Chains A and B, each alone.
Chain A
């Protein structure tokens, strides 16, 4: 798959079919990948495909000018389509190099499984429905469902839905819906007061670095409402109340665009379980509007479409 990707990417650049390639290359830390954004065909040999491709590269589509060949997992491909629905990118300017995804390894889960941090591990490999972790020369096996990101365990479409080149056979994901929903279910069992306390506590440590927003392909406002000064909706000061409002409004703004790629939660440096908000919204959107983000490039975006029948459901 990896060699094929490199050949395809090189050919696309050589034949002038794209100006840019956006993919992944090996990172500078163990088990890390890093986005590769290049115009140079010689860089194509650095492209990788592995279970550590965390970033949702759709985020970079609007950053470069010209035609782009982009590597996309299932969720990323939906984010790309969602951007097309919002007229942020044109279909003909994008060549989607689809990667049938088998789930991405959550290094924080791996760390908890073996009680060591990522840089202390010798190796992590995906073998069928298992993940093998080599630590201190000893190999330990775990079910893949214990080591993949929550959002991967809930993934409905691991194979890209929209692509130009599919770099392998369609994949089926190792779904474990209860595991993926665990944190959210716990929240639902709480009383509203308990839930309020929970989120107050979580958002007390938000530092307003905006990594959650900036890493998100669905957050593409030129000027985010938090940065408006007239009127000033929230202060750019990291008080828990302002932090919470920032996140709630962000969640509403990505409703119908969020593809549950999980990036916001992954990048939060202070471990706020943001997916518990975004996934709940994702499910609500599905339940109320029978809508899934980024499935149909011709469909009107959820938040700008309106059907009379909806009123019946919503305003009772």
Chain B
């Protein structure tokens, strides 16, 4: 039996300091003006009081809103390309939620299986994920409908569960096990601790009340794919902004732009969105000029095409797209109102 550890909540600062010697520790932060996973400042653990989930999903720490792919210089001989320096510091993300950890596993299918994305993988392969179970899910969360439990995860290296004044620490991967072996100052968890953690997990699970029915969802979407009236109706209030895609932890579309000033320049990639009318305009035309086609694309990509390709729904029920939408467009309502009976 793998032994479980525990740590006092008031000692989290010490733990993060210890890990900081080896990693760039990222933790929930409001420092920039919006909740995000940002470099830990070496002392502040007040996020333990306010943190429910970040607005900016942790995908941004692996696939940032923008990144320089390479820079170049032009002279008489042509272009000289310089690749960006790879940050040697490995990231340790402290406090990632189970939905967002699962989202990274979903992103791996695109960025690792479908093709190897060096920018993403350089950060992803060296990172350590320390999960923190939710105790207070949002009313917009629906992770439990997607096979995720708010305080359990197999997509992290270590998993922490709130058991009162302490966190129970579980080793999920070998990477996590190694880290624990090298971390001093942790106490052995008792059977009572483990029982408490089990109870805490159940309690959290039951707090998620928003539900969708994913049974046969692919077939249902296929059956109403051509129901233009339906899609037009549900798309009417969408304003085609980038919020629900940019801030979705599983959306990965990007755009590529070059900038050349005088003889120097750089190539950037940045988040793009299927909600935008100009999406894919660069290589060709956007085949989805009408808004309803773009709305349909977002729903079907997550619940029909991704499952067809990778056998997993590309939604983890994190609820960001519901919480942050300017018009309260709600994907759970839409999935429950599909005009088909299967």
Q: A residues within 8 Å of B by Cβ?
A: 27-30, 32-37, 55, 59-60, 63-64, 117, 119-120, 201-202, 204-205, 207-211, 214-215, 227, 235-239, 263, 266-267, 269-272
List the B side residues contacting A28 at CB < 8 Å: 322, 328, 330, 332-333
B216 at the interface (CB under 8 A from A): no
Whether the pair A215, B326 counts as a contact (CB closer than 8 A) is yes
What residues of chain B lie closer than 8 Å to A204, measured between beta carbons? Answer: 32
Cβ-defined contact, A207 with B271, below 8 A: yes
Measured CA separation A235–B257 after assembly (Å): 7
CB within 8 Å of A: which residues of B? Answer: 32-34, 52, 55-56, 65-66, 136, 138-140, 236-237, 239-243, 246-247, 255, 257, 259, 268, 270-271, 273, 276, 278, 322-324, 326-330, 332-333
Cβ 8 A contact of B243, one of A32, A235, A269: A269
Residues of chain B within 8 A (CB-CB) of A239 are: 66
Interchain residue pairs with CB less than 8 A apart (25)? A28-B330, A29-B140, A29-B328, A33-B328, A34-B328, A34-B330, A35-B236, A35-B327, A37-B236, A63-B236, A119-B140, A205-B34, A207-B65, A207-B242, A209-B247, A210-B276, A211-B239, A211-B241, A211-B242, A211-B326, A215-B241, A236-B270, A267-B241, A267-B243, A269-B243
**Do residues B240 and A237 form an inter-chain contact, with CB atoms below 8 A?**
no
> Given A37-B236, A215-B239, A270-B33, are A235 and B328 also a contact pair (CB < 8 Å)?
no
Instruction: Tell me, rounded to whole Å, the shortest Cβ–Cβ distance linking B34 to chain A.
Output: 4
Q: Shortest beta-carbon distance, A206 to chain B, in Å?
A: 9
Q: Could you say which residues of chain B place their CB within 8 Å of the CB of A271?
A: 33-34
Q: A237, B32: Cβ atoms under 8 Å?
A: no
CB distance from B326 to the nearest CB of A (A): 4
The 4 closest A-B pairs by CB, nearest first: A209-B242, A211-B241, A119-B139, A267-B326
The minimal Cβ–Cβ distance linking A21 to chain B, given in whole angstroms, is 12
B278 neighbours in A (Cβ, 8 Å): 227
Shortest CB–CB separation between residue A185 and chain B, in angstroms?
20
B286 CB to closest chain A CB (Å) equals 12
Q: Known contacts being A207-B271, A211-B239, is A238 close to B140, with CB within 8 Å?
A: no
With A214-B239, A236-B255, A239-B66 already in contact, the answer to whether A207 and B33 are too (CB < 8 A) is: no
Whether A209 contacts B243 by the Cβ 8 Å rule is: yes
A33 to chain B, nearest CB (A): 7
Residues in B whose Cβ lies below 8 Å from that of A235: 257, 259, 268
A55 touches B322 (CB 8 A): no
The interface residues of chain B lying within 8 Å CB-to-CB of A59 are 239
